[in-house]
């Protein structure tokens, strides 16, 4: 397509097309806007963007490229490098009421979106059985509402994201983050969403590195990991980690070896970890875990694990207004109203770095 143009593709079908480089069916370069409506893309191939590729190199001076995809179907498209269905660079993209199914690429089997001018907005969308899932990197913003991720993981790198009323089920990752991987200074807000029956080597539900996670009114259930962190695995090496869990549930998450209980945190050098949970239910082996002396004595590194408990310095004040004593070198429990309030050393820090 011609640069600085506007494009509309309506009620169309693109099948079995091939490009040697980018965009097996459609290639957009520096377009002002593009609209795709009620169209299908199947069995197209390219190096980047098996079906669709949008590239914008006009970042100085800034010129925005926008695309809108509504009521479209992407199936069995393939990219040899990235973006099985679509590759979007410095493009503001909106996907609504559409399906991406069985698309393939080594990175971002469904979609890969990247660039400092890029954003991705998903609404009433279905990602199903795309290998390597949705990959976003260095975005201004990712937002997803009423979206299904089935056998299709989400990878967020150096970006800010908001997820609301979404479900992540039956996803698998060879290494980290069965449902969601959050890396390199990212921030993620998850509201009213379900992360269930996902698996990975670490972090069956969610895995994060040097990032911040806010979980509200959400369910983390029946996720599994091989090494540790059935529900969540976290690793901080360059900057701080931050967690906020409110009115959420961790239920029956497991690991084959290592820490089987919901959360595993590794902290190796120069960072701060802040974990705060309020009105959060934790259930394991069909037992709701409440604060009792007997329960505290049962806690072991096989359930909650921190690699370096010696670096704990202090705890925060909770809703009760009292300091909670740091117990047993790695866990702290208390009650809040009629719900369980759980904290794993609400603040622990290493010599350098701060949130």
What residue segments make up the domains of the chain, in order of their start? 6-349
Q: Decide: residue 270, CB within 10 A, 0-12 exposed, 13-18 middle, 19+ buried.
A: middle
Least confident of 35-39, 71-75, 162-166, 234-238: 234-238
CATH architecture of the domain 6-349 equals 3 Solenoid (2.160)
Encoding tokens for residue 286?
């069909």
Cα–Cα distances (Å) from 332 to 182, 187, 323, in that order, read: 26, 25, 11
Tell me what the mean pLDDT of segment 165-185 comes to: 92
Residue 324 clears pLDDT 70, i.e. is over it: no
More confident residue, 36 or 259: 36
Cα-Cα end-to-end distance for the chain: 45
Q: Which residues of 259-269 are buried (b: 16+ CB within 10 A; e: fewer)?
A: bbbbbbbbbee
What is the tens place of the pLDDT at every residue in 270-314? 444 555 556 666 666 666 654 443 444 444 444 443 333 332 222
Output the average pLDDT for the chain.
Answer: 77
Which of 69-83, 161-175, 224-238 is the least confident region? 224-238
Predicted pLDDT of residue 146: 97
**CA dihedral over 219, 221, 223, 229, signed as positive or negative:** positive
CB 338, CB 261: distance < 8 Å:
no
Report cis status (omega within 30 of 0) of the bond before 61: yes
Per-residue pLDDT averaged across 105-109, rounded?
94
d(C-alpha 108, C-alpha 47), whole Å: 12
Per residue in 210-261, pLDDT (tens digit) is: 889 999 999 999 999 887 778 888 777 666 677 788 888 888 888 877 554 4
DSSP 166-221: -EEES-EEEEE-SSEEEESS-EEEEES-EEES-EEEE-SSEEEES-EEEEES-EEE
> CB neighbours of 30 closer than 8 A, spacing ≥ 6?
3, 4, 55, 56, 57, 58, 63, 65
Task: Give the Cα separation of 223 and 196 in Å (integer).
Answer: 6
**In what helix (H) or strand (E) does residue 298 lie, and over which residues does it extend?**
helix 293-298
- Residue 198: is its pLDDT beyond 70? yes
Residue 119 half-sphere exposure, CB side, CA atoms within 13 Å? Answer: 15
Average pLDDT over residues 44-58: 94
Instruction: Quote the tokens at residue 306.
Output: 């921190």
Tell me how many degrees the CA angle 79-85-89 measures, rounded to the nearest 5: 85
> CB neighbours (10 Å) of residue 8?
11
- CA pair distance 117, 58, nearest whole angstrom: 10
Which residue's structure tokens are 């949705």? 134
């Amino acid at each position: 397509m011609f640069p600085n143009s506007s494009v509309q593709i309506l009620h169309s079908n693109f099948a079995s097309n091939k490009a040697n480089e980018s965009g097996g069916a459609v290639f957009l370069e520096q377009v002002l806007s593009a609209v795709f409506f009620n169209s299908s893309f199947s069995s197209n191939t390219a190096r980047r963007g098996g079906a669709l590729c949008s590239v914008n190199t006009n970042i100085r001076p800034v010129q925005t490229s926008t695309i809108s995809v509504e009521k479209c179907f992407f199936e069995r498209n393939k990219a040899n490098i990235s973006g099985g269905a679509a590759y979007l660079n410095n493009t503001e993209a909106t996907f609504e009421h559409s399906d991406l199914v069985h698309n393939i690429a080594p990175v971002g089997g469904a979609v890969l979106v990247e660039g400092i001018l890029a954003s991705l907005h998903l609404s009433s969308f279905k990602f199903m059985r795309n290998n390597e899932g949705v990959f976003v990197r260095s975005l201004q913003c990712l937002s997803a509402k009423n979206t299904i991720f089935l056998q299709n993981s989400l990878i967020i790198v150096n970006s800010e994201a908001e997820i609301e009323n979404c479900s992540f089920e039956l996803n698998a990752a060879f290494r980290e983050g069965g449902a969601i991987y959050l890396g390199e200074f990212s921030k993620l807000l998850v509201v009213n969403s379900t992360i269930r029956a996902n698996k990975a080597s670490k972090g069956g539900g969610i895995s994060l590195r040097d990032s911040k996670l806010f979980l509200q009114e959400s369910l983390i259930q029946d996720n599994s990991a091989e090494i540790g962190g059935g529900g969540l695995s976290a690793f901080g090496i360059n900057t701080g980690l931050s967690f906020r869990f409110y009115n959420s549930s961790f239920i029956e998450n497991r690991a084959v070896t290592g820490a089987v209980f919901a959360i595993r945190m590794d902290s190796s050098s120069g960072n701060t970890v802040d974990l705060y949970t309020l009105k959060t239910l934790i259930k394991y082996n069909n037992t709701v875990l409440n604060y009792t002396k007997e329960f505290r004595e049962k806690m072991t590194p096989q359930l909650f694990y921190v690699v370096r408990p010696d670096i704990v310095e202090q705890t925060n004040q909770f809703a009760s207004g009292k300091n909670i004593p740091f117990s047993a070198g790695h866990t702290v429990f208390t009650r809040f109203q009629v719900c369980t309030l759980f904290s794993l050393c609400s603040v622990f820090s290493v010599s350098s770095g701060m949130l």
